[in-house]
Structure 1
Amino acid sequence: MMITIIGRLLPCMVICGLLLVHSDCAPINHSLYSNNNSHVPSYLDAFKELIVQHVYGSSDDNNSPGPIENDYLFDLNSSREFLRPKRNAPIPDKLKELIDKSSTLARISNGIALQSGLMDGSIKIEDVVAELLNFGTLKVSDVVGFNVDLVKELAGKMEKLPTSLDKSTIELENAGLGWNELRKKSEAVKGVIDLPQKDAYFNALENYERIFKFDVFGKVDKALDNILVKLKEIEELEIEEKPEPIVLKSYHTGNFNPLPDYLEIAVSKLNEVQATSKSFEDNKILIDSHSAFAPFGTMIDLIKIRYELEAPAVSNIHKALGNNFQQLTDLISKPIEPEIKGLSSLIHSRTISDFNKKIYTSGFHNGVRDLKKLALEIRDPWIEEFTGNAISTSRLADGIQTFLNVIYQVLHIDDKLKPVSTNNNPRSISYLKNVLQEVSKMPQKSAELVNIFSDIATCMEKSEKIGPANYEKGKKVIEKIVAVGKVFAELAAAVKRINIDQHQKDMNAFIKFLGFKDIKNATTSPAEIPAVMKRIKTTDTLKKFKELIAGVKNGFNIDKKALKADVKNITSQKDAISTDGFKEEGEMHACLQKLNDKFEKFEKAIAVTRKLSGIDSATIQNVENLASTVASVKNELKSLGSIPGSMKKYAKKITTEINKWPESLKSSGAIGQSVALLSHANDFKTLMSSGELDKFDTPVQTQIEAMKQGNEQTRIKTLWGDHKKFVTDLQASSNQTDTIGTSLKLDEIKTFEDYGTAMKTSLESMKDVKIDVKAKIEALDALISLTKKPAELEKIKKTLQHLESLDLAFSSHVSYFQKVPNALKSLYDFLVKFSIEPTRAPPPRSGKATPQVFYEDRDSSDYDNKRSEDIFDEATKARILYGVLIVLIVALIFAVSAFAYVMIRTPKDHLRHWIKGFPKNGRVYHNERLNEIAIETEKLIEQMKRQSYAYLPKRKHRNPEILCNPETALKKLMKDDKKMPIHANFVKSRNGKRFIACQAPTDKSKNHDDTTEDFWHMVVKERCNEVVMLCRCVEGGSVQSAEYYPIAIDKPKKCGRYEISLLAEPGIFMEFKEIIVRRMMIRDTTNKLKKRTITHYQHIGWKDQKCPPRGEHEALYQLMKKFESKWIPARFQSPVVVHCSTGIGRAMTFIGIHTVTEDVIKDTSTAWVNRLKLLREARWHAIQTTRQSFWLEMAVAHKLNWDYKLGMDKELKEQQAMFLTFNEQEELELAAERRKEKDKKAEGEAKGEEPILGQAVLQ
């Protein structure tokens, strides 16, 4: 730790040393600090010429009159094409003019503030440069500390993999994988030496004719067949329009009259067959013969696999495979993650620079590009013309010149870093990360894995080396056994299907359907046949009845001769089923199974090797080039530390004067932020008017349609969404900006303050615009990974990322633009005062003034005279002073290092101490704490009831005894312009993260209202992205929750005004099968609220009033980590909805994993009972049982251990064992305890007593 801190502070020592040399360095062409009394000093001309030549290139390279305007930021090819004026585009409006003028003032004010802050030490040069160069979250020291050699070494090794990995090992690899497959399959036949059921099977088979009454089966088959024949004849009858009576009579006699008798006979025969069912139960071995002989067949298959496998004994091939493994292991022999993470962060921040937060350089919204503009516009004649010469641009330029002198060095660094911003870099770094992720799967000491072949050879010696041919006859006999078993199984199934009562009902129903008054009456029935046939022809009843009879018949039609022949064949060859050699083969399998760990590592190593053999060397080379680019600016960044010292050393009097603008950073911040907001609004308007967004849908839809149809295509299509509607909605928001721009009256602006007022008025009238393109960008990422030519899609993605980066939440920045008029007035007043002689008073008002100005520059004449006489002495003194400073800095480094080490280690020690301090008898401790809370709750229960029922109707309480705390309830939740009470509470963590704990929604019933609509309304209005459900809808026959979500993609769920759709088939969370993940879209059918997409996590294994299954922690830890964003501050994250049945036990225990952890981090000394009280203050009755309290404490300990890498796995394992012992005891005691409490409750109800709501009676 100390070495790391010293390493990061070491550049400071180097920078201080460079100051010794810097004092003798002469500036280019002219002394930057010469005493030229003219209003246009010669050094300024030289500096402007330097900027033009080295920054913008020669005049031949800049054909346009305004080169700066061509240097756009967000185009994918280094020019913002979508902002470039089109041939037919309208002339820039008044809003653009307002932005241009205000931007000039913002840059000037920010330049003054930066110069002042850098020189007085309140602003660090490294912070300023990091913002100007768009380093994002990276510091200059991070870039300076970037270890390019590590990246180059890694990239070099990776680039060689396609050729350096030996391909001759493929046969050996396949052999190893084959033996591993044999090992896996052999686990199914562990211990197979003999077939214990063989004799029992053959005894039963030899007596099968005596056991089963095949004559009975034949008779029922015949009876059912007669019915089917008769039904077919009836179906095929054709009745003429006017049939002859004699024909009808013959139809009746031959077809309809016999039918009831046939049915009666069939039922009789089925009765006889049903009586044979016991025979099948007593001889199951004949039916399930496959199970009895399956191990034999499996063993033969394994022998065949073993027989065909060989382990090549060529040592040089073994060595080559070991070398392959070693090459991949060497890739991660040194820690490379910080470099890759830093490089990735730099690429992102430089590519999408709008996301970077400006703290010190708000006036330079576009970073270095705006810095270039300041160098040229500081002498803009417009300033003097606008102020009536009240402000002197020459004095302004001279005053800020010290800051301008810094520009060239920063511009040079930015120019070197331009390759970092190219389009293919994000894809390259993402590819490298994926490769490293694969390499991380490589087992340790992987080169030694080739020794597994020696182990395989040892195992092979245990087998008899008998081939599968030795068992061929036995295998054929078993195939016949299985075929005969199938016959018996079908027969048994047919007998089991017999349901006499149902069959009788079906037959009677069919006779009734025919419609005869008396089907047996030969006198009346013939005349009824035409009507009967009409019913038959116009319905499918007869067809279904035929299918029913055929289903009953299925299985009874047995070829007795064939069966007898097969049985005779089997019994005559039973000796062919030999298990000779099985024992030895089993010993070989056991030997292989002992190599389980080695085989799994070998399999992983082979998988990684094969993946990386086809690595994209060109992409890796690009990453290496990027690393070199970053390394090329390290020395220049190191030297930044000398700049403030140089600025102070050569500062003139005029510099000191301009640095006196009071609260310059605050004022310039208000100006810069306001201009940035206007620029974002104008960028949004320009992008919308360009029509570029309209063109995006066609290429994206083309790529989607080119995909193979399936879930992934559907997912991407859903993510991309209705693009036309997306553009239409944005266009409506953009129109307001057009209106505001045309209404501006710029000709009425007379003062700086008026510019501020115009900005303030414009921003106040702008409505917030919410732009959500995350789903679209996710869709593009998926498509980019699937196409070989991603350039067009990447351009679309970058445009959408720019759109996403625009800050159009104007209402959240009111504090800035309300201050801008006063800030600009302050700037004007100060610059007017600064521009005149110190003895003269400034003009009496802020604005366009024409005072008589007499100016004479006497800033540094005395200084130059002294400097020319004493320069040698000054340099000598400076060297001595800097030498002393270096010694002091070295001493300071050691002091800071020691302090930092203690500050970093102390919190971890506190956390370890907290975990070690757990009580030895956790059950007693947690039971006492909960009972302590219960006693306090009992005293307040009547008051709690009144408050809860006053806030929320009783019918909206799932359990009338589980009350809702109105103090933390969602009291501002509105629906249809009315407050909407709901049984839910905000639970806020110390770091600002919010959860909503609530009861499960209820369906409408005798005691409850339907609250499913309320639930989804809460989710939409509170802008929630995740819902966690910690129960099943029904548990143990008791309803725990309404089914408020859809269960199929094609069946949306309607909950009041909301329609909820499932966007994809439910999946599982990571590897945790007990957590089901659903992606849903909520649509307000009234169209009052926008659609919302949420992710729904349901834990189906956590039972009511208990802890998670087996007391495990990892699943819920990983789920909670899913909600803990590293990139978005907790207080800005959307709340997570968590519910179980009542929302107090499982829900609050889960929420406590985060909130209690944060509480412990802040203060490890708080008693556990107070932590529980905090949860109960947020949601009444939180944490129901002793085991939940105990488990929560363990969950917090595990989270701290994993998050902070405390290394307490052993201690936690012991504590977890204690908890599991308690949990197992409670499982045995809980049933008795519940019965006792149930009796107690019943007794109390009989006496008219009410239960104590806060009491923790369950363990």
Structure 2
Amino acid sequence: MRNILLVALAAIIAQVPIESKLWISLESGRDYTLTDSIAHRQKRGSNDDPFSALQTQISKLARVVNGITVYNSIIDSSIPIDSIISELLGVGLFKLQDLKSFNKTEVDKAVNKIIGAKISNTTRDIGRQVVNLYKMKEMYQKIGSLASLPTEAAIKDLSSLKGTDVDKIQSISIDPNSPKESLKDLSISIGNVMNIVEEKNIMKTLKDLEPFNQYVRLIELFDDSKLDSLKSKPQPEIAQLKTELDGLSNIQKEPAPLLQLMSSIVGSSFVKREFTSGFLNGYEDLSLLEKDIKDSWVEGIVGNHTSLKELTKLTKLVDPLKELDEKWDSVRSLQLRSSIRKAAMIEDSFGSSKGSGDDVAKIIESFSSSYKIAPAIVLPKIVRDNSEPLIYQMHILNQLKDTLSTQLDTLDAAEIRRVNESLKELRTNPDIASSGKTISDLSSTITGFPTTIANFKEFLEALKGMTILSKETITAVKSAIQMNSIQNDINFTSDINSIANSITDSVGLLTEVDTAIETIKTKPTDENLTQLKELEKHSKSLGYAATIIDMVHKVLEKSSFLLDFVKNGRVVNEKASDLRKSETRVYNVIRANWLNFDKVAQNVSQIVGEVQSWNRLISIPKTDRLEDYGSILEQFSGLEDVDLDAEHRIVAIEALLTTNLDQTVKPTLEVLKASLEKVANLDLSFSKYSISGISDSLVAIQKVFLSTIPTVKVVPKKATTAQKKEEAPVTTTETPPADNGTLILFLEIAGGVLVGVALVVAGFIRIKYGVNIFCAVWRKIKGDKKKPSQVSSTVQPRSQQSGVPQQGRQSSADPPAQRRRAEGQPVRRSRADNQGAERRRNERVEREQDQGHQNQGEQNEQRPGQVPIVQAHVVQPERAPVPQNDEPLAPDELTLDDLDQDVVRDLTPPYRIQPDEQATESEIEELNNYYAQLAADDTLRDEAIPYPRILIRYLRPLVIRQMELNRQANNNR
């Protein structure tokens, strides 16, 4: 009965059209299915935003690749857990053990040390002047040579920026009813102005003025610092400063710097992720991994042969890290962060900078002997105040020219709004024409500047030569200034206590973090992820690419706030100048916190323009090959870093708002402050993330995933003498047999049900085929005397399934073809040869039942000298062998028509093959259509349908080898 059911079951399964795949190894949990990449392509609508699609795809892949690296690093401890947790929380590096042993009492001791060390206002005031000397030294070392200043003729050419076109640009408005006509007029005017700019080389002239403008800033700093008073300081004041600085250097540093730990947790910003670069939003991105590994585009790259299920263990970290972050987030206000940063800097200076008091006294003495009065700054300042806005305006014009010249007919409403915003920025005071004229009129002041500052340069050279005016000495002075500030801050102690209490309350949550880590470390159920260890070499590069794209995306999102900062920021410069004499204290606060606005504004405008251009022009590769994304991602390199310094600028605005301002200015400042608050957490440090080799990294990542794709090799049941000589031995791994009792019992039950269903279906659908099956079953019942068979869960090539030897196989319908095959000659099969396809197919079905059942029985009873049947097994990827003989064939010169079609069909794999690296889109589509036809009607295997080109490449070496073996066998006979 068992034999009847098993044979019937095999017969029924044989006629069911199934999309064949390699089976899942239940022992390892590893899915060896070869994914059809076309089926896994991400479907995108025609209206999708290409930039957003690119960001989504790269971010998903970066999380998966970096997640694999983090997972493996936790398993083998190759990356410190402290670093992983710190980066996922987005804070400075700290040790979990230090956090577990956090002691509020020790924090109180550190705070008392700071408060107990008294620093006088005298030391503070002298210290500020010495710090300004150091700033001047640094500025002078960075200033370019004045030898490159433009000529007087070049400067006078700036007056060419005038006329009707300039006036039109300054006054034109875009008509919302007919914007195309207005934009066309604007495009013509901008083109005419930019022709003048190019003809007169105006951009080079403005760029060559940069060293001049830097000298102007330096002279401004000299004047504002009132350094002339430093050369006449009384000796008692210098002695007091020396004593207080030496006292600081004698304070012992604590072995466990708790204030620095606290600053790392709540005072850090813009943390660079070295080991978790793929998780742009830290622990929050871990929760996305479950969806990421199921994403069709990611699956197409990774392949279904690699299970990423273990990766979801990382999500165990989300909840405990979220609780920690929320606990600490309550003490991350601007005021608290400022307090803890000051405290950490002071704590770090304890016990260092020995002799800093003597060094500062020597600096003051050297300064007094080399002091020179700075030249008058009024006219140079006018040049600076006109040239820097003009550079910015020229940059905006250039952006508008590019936009209008390439997209005039395709601008949508949003882009037209951006054009209007740019025009508003151009209309800031001073305007283009007046700036050009003002600078032109001061050409003699500019060209004579090197002579004007000759004496002052001697003083700057003396500063440059002061080796004791060093960073180490100035650090001690800055600490003293901060200590004086803290002593006058009534909120300092309560601020530190709030932070310390928050950390103390969070220590208990670290137990949950430890538990999550131990859960991840538990023995994996499979080795899928550990086999991808090589990804760690390229994980950081991909993560950095995702980071750059994310930074660019945030610039696009917040571009309106950035441009508000650029447009309104000059108000602070203008109003601060008015307060220079009337409100000295406020002026000093503004000057200290509102630095280099014009340069920063120019860089911000340039970045916004570039990323908006990228957003318009970016495209997604037409193919889904990962390496095709490399050239696109490399476009995002080269952006200049910008430090918005938003927190300090907000301090300057708040100080300015306390003064008596015109009512028209106050709303502008409030908008400016709100804009800066929106971009305060915007990281524009692009150079931190190098993506120069991203193309190579993407290729390498794809190879790592492909390296785990298995191939299937099957050892023939019988080997002829020729085959034994030609074929190299194959190392095999046999899977231990399953519990046959349970399996056979299951098959008996299932078989009984399937036999009944099959008989009904056969009666209505295929009477003839049902009769053939019944006859085959009946013959098998009468002739079967073997032991019960074992059911194999592997897929074998058609030649082995049928039991027909590959060599010498002939078609009874074509005697000439038989003769050509016997002689080892190629045979071209026509459609006429297939008239008996249905009859031959039915005969082969019967043989498959007989031979298949016989083979299964022989697995338990092997005859002496017989070559055993070896189960299909998984090996590392390997190309099919090319035949080697005395008369080598030329496979590259043969087409499929030259090959023996019966041999081809015997060697056709019953599973899907993975498209190779050479595959084109049309070839992949052709392969999919082929498989779709087979899935619809399995009888097409016996028809002369065209073979896909990829399949031909796959089969050619195998078929040529089999034909050669057939020829040699015939010669031996």
- Same fold, judged at TM 0.5 (above): no
TM-score when scaled to structure 2? 0.36
Query: Which structure carries more relative contact order (alpha carbon 8 Å, separation 6+)?
Result: 2
TM-score when normalising by structure 1: 0.29
